[in-house]
Chain A
Amino acid sequence: MSQSYNRGLIEDFGRWKEFSAGMWAWIFHKFTGWMLIGYLFTHIAVLSTAIGAASGDVALIQQETDVYTQTIQGLESLFIIRILEVGLLAVAVFHILNGIRLLMVDLGVGLTAQDKSFYASLVLTGIITVASVPTFLDGVAL
């Protein structure tokens, strides 16, 4: 039988000063999740220019001046977009690593190390993000 006690509304963000590692992990997971689903909607909206390109002039596609190619390449030529891509990677990597951690917490595996695995997720996310910077900033000027 589960032992339960009243821990109050733990979703009360006004209590952030009392939050432990596990609580921060949970908040970061929600925050990164909101960003990722928001990005997915934006991503499909941008890629929707393919509909216009497909129904347009074939010559434009061959000359690489169709609306899809120009939209993607135009966005990728912006420094701020490259920075946002690095941010997106950081958000996705943390969500994945912490998601694996959450699965283990859910299954009751390694509960005593759940705070350490949160810190490990953060450090690993930082390392992978920094390592990705050269790839994302390749061929773009400020």
Chain B
Amino acid sequence: MAERYSSFTRGGTGWLLQRITAAFLVVVLAFHFFQLHFVNHAAEVTFAGTQERMSTIGYFVTMVLFLVAGAFHGVNGVYNALVNQGLEGTPKKLVLAVLSLAGIALVAQGVWVAVAMAGWT
């Protein structure tokens, strides 16, 4: 069983960060899910209720980290899947640039949304 099965280069930073963000995402996603489907029901969400949650600094920081981890994990996962599919050379660089920009834009938009929710605009 010496063969390698992973989509990621062993020992690479990408591999490690993908695992670290995964562990963080599992925990925070569980919290997020219970918070908005069991404690508060999604159908009863109001801006005032969202503001009450988001203006708590601990919740705000957790949600921003959740977004950063999710964006990285998703974009890095897509990139590695494409590299696995045989992407190389200039298209590989181009895809990395486009995915990086998309990830940064997602985080920027998300932080703006979180700040607006908290009422700090």
Interaction A to B: yes
Q: Which residue numbers of A lie inside 8 Å of B, CB to CB?
A: 1-4, 9, 11, 22, 26, 30, 33-34, 36-37, 40-41, 44, 47-48, 50-51, 53-55, 61-62, 64, 66, 68-69, 72-73, 76-77, 85, 89, 92, 96, 99, 102-103, 105-106, 108, 111-112, 135-136, 138-140
Given A44-B109, A48-B109, A48-B113, are A30 and B42 neighbors across the interface (CB < 8 Å)?
no
Which residues on the B side are within 8 Å of A105 (C-beta)? 5-6
CB atoms of B74 and A135 under 8 A apart: no
CB atoms of B6 and A34 under 8 A apart: no
A27 to chain B, nearest CB (A): 10
A116 to chain B, nearest CB (A): 15
- The count of residues in chain B whose C-beta lies closer than 8 Å to any C-beta of chain A is 47
Which residues on the B side are within 8 Å of A112 (C-beta)? 1
Which residues on the B side are within 8 Å of A85 (C-beta)? 42
Given A11-B86, A44-B110, A103-B19, are A50 and B50 neighbors across the interface (CB < 8 Å)?
yes
Asked whether B61 is an interface residue with its Cβ less than 8 Å from the other chain, the reply is no
Which residues on the B side are within 8 Å of A54 (C-beta)? 47, 116-117, 119, 121
Type the 1/0 row for B1-18, where 1 means its CB is closer than 8 Å to any CB of A.
111111110000001000
Q: Which residue numbers of B lie inside 8 Å of A, CB to CB?
A: 1-8, 15, 19, 22, 26, 29, 33, 37-38, 41-48, 50-51, 67, 70-71, 74-75, 77-78, 81, 84-86, 102, 106, 109-110, 112-113, 116-117, 119, 121
Which residues on the A side are within 8 Å of B67 (C-beta)? 44
In the complex, the chain B residue whose C-beta lies closest to that of A73 is B43
Given A9-B86, A11-B86, A53-B47, are A135 and B37 neighbors across the interface (CB < 8 Å)?
yes
A-B contact pairs, 8 of them (CB 8 A): A41-B106, A50-B50, A50-B113, A51-B113, A54-B119, A64-B48, A72-B45, A99-B26
Q: How many angstroms from the CA of A9 to the CA of B22 in the assembled complex?
A: 27
Which residues on the B side are within 8 Å of A92 (C-beta)? 29
**Which of B47, B70, B81, B86 neighbours the largest number of chain A CB atoms within 10 Å of its CB?**
B47
